[in-house]
């Protein structure tokens, strides 16, 4: 509606300019909404299915993980697909995944093997939106990240 012929939005803007310390936060600006869309924090930033595919000219391994729960900085999920070379690996040989994400957006996850003494799969690196750039990826006891061979995981 209006007040003395002026639209209510104009009255609020003028009132806010005249009394900034009393002006309520009416609505977030467009920029606030855009920034909020990218500021998912804690373990919830990891929710979803992630495809870990080899870099160019590297054939394997190729993994998929599903992260289906998070609380605080922690997240949990499971390995849903694993391929090494031409061989599909039985994902039932692995225990549930657990991980954390720090305030620096670096996520670290571990997927233990069911058999004692087998090196777990570990993943670590910064997360930006739907991309997880791995700075460390241990598979079969071997570090997969090497000079000129970077690994990424993408949320699908």
φ, ψ (nearest 5 deg) of residue 144: -90, -25
The pLDDT tens digits for 18-47 are 544 544 444 455 554 444 444 556 999 999
Q: Is 98 exposed, middle or buried (0-12, 13-18, 19+ CB in 10 A)?
A: middle
Domain ranges of the chain: 2-37, 42-155
The structure tokens listed for 133 are 């750039």
pLDDT digits (tens, 9 = 90+) for 57-110: 888 899 999 999 999 999 999 999 999 988 999 999 999 999 999 999 999 999
What one-character-per-residue DSSP string does 32-51 give? HHHHHHT---GGGGG-EEEE
What torsion, rounded to 10 degrees, do the Cα atoms 29, 33, 36, 37 define? -160
Q: Considering only the top CATH level, what class is 42-155?
A: mainly beta
């Amino acid at each position: 509606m209006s007040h003395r012929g002026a639209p209510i939005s104009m009255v609020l803007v003028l009132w806010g300019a005249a009394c900034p310390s009393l002006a309520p936060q009416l609505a977030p600006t467009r920029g606030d909404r855009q920034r909020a869309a990218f500021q998912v924090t804690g373990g919830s930033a990891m929710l979803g299915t992630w495809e870990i595919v080899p870099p160019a000219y590297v054939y394997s391994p190729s993994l998929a993980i599903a992260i289906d729960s998070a609380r605080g900085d922690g997240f949990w999920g499971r390995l849903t697909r694993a391929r090494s070379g031409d061989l599909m690996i039985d994902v039932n040989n692995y225990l549930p995944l657990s991980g954390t994400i720090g305030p620096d957006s670096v996520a670290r996850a571990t997927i233990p093997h069911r058999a004692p003494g087998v090196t777990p799969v570990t993943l670590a690196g910064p997360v930006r939106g739907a991309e997880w750039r791995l700075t460390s990826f241990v598979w079969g006891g071997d570090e997969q990240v090497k000079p000129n061979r970077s690994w990424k995981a993408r949320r699908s």
